Amino acid sequence: SAVISQKPSRDICQRGTSLTIQCQVDSQVTMMFWYRQQPGQSLTLIATANQGSEATYESGFVIDKFPISRPNLTFSTLTVSNMSPEDSSIYLCSVEAVRGYGYTFGSGTRLTVV
């Protein structure tokens, strides 16, 4: 299965600032997925990122708040913009390395906004 490197693993940020999270995969994948996990909750899909096209956002998530880049088939970034304490969560990226089989998840970025 694919191996994902996600950075940073954690950060503490001031409200009103932005943080960019990086996701690097050791193989080429068509789709990359970004999730948010709020404290004590399950994972919520933010968006799907395809290489060469704009990301597709789920209901409740907008590009201005969570811009995503996907410059090639092994890399993606998620930016959390104009942060507020409500953005304090774990953010995870995921890929489906082989279609129809298991998805792999990064270890997550634990974000605290103060």
Partner 1 sequence: DAKTTQPNSMESNEEEPVHLPCNHSTISGTDYIHWYRQLPSQGPEYVIHGLTSNVNNRMASLAIAEDRKSSTLILHRATLRDAAVYYCILRDWGDNQGGKLIFGQGTELSVKP
Chain residues binding partner 1 by CB under 8 A are 1, 31, 33, 35, 42-45, 48, 56, 92, 94, 96, 99-108
Does residue 44 contact residue 34 with C-beta atoms inside 8 Å? no
- The distance of closest approach from Cβ of residue 105 to partner 1 in the complex, given in angstroms and rounded to an integer, is 3
- Identity of the residue, 101 or 114, whose beta carbon is nearer to partner 1 in the bound complex: 101
- Identity of the residue, 1 or 84, whose beta carbon is nearer to partner 1 in the bound complex: 1
What is the distance, to the nearest Å, from the Cα of residue 34 to the centroid of all Cα atoms in its chain? Answer: 3
Does residue 94 contact residue 76 with C-beta atoms inside 8 Å? no
- Identity of the residue, 17 or 103, whose beta carbon is nearer to partner 1 in the bound complex: 103
Does residue 88 contact residue 99 with C-beta atoms inside 8 Å? no
DSSP code per residue over 62-101? -TTTS-EEEEETTEEEEEE-S--GGG-EEEEEEEESSTTS
- The distance of closest approach from Cβ of residue 43 to partner 1 in the complex, given in angstroms and rounded to an integer, is 4
- The distance of closest approach from Cβ of residue 34 to partner 1 in the complex, given in angstroms and rounded to an integer, is 11
Q: Name the nearest CA neighbour of 66 among 40, 39, 94, 87.
A: 87
- The distance of closest approach from Cβ of residue 93 to partner 1 in the complex, given in angstroms and rounded to an integer, is 9
- Identity of the residue, 38 or 82, whose beta carbon is nearer to partner 1 in the bound complex: 38
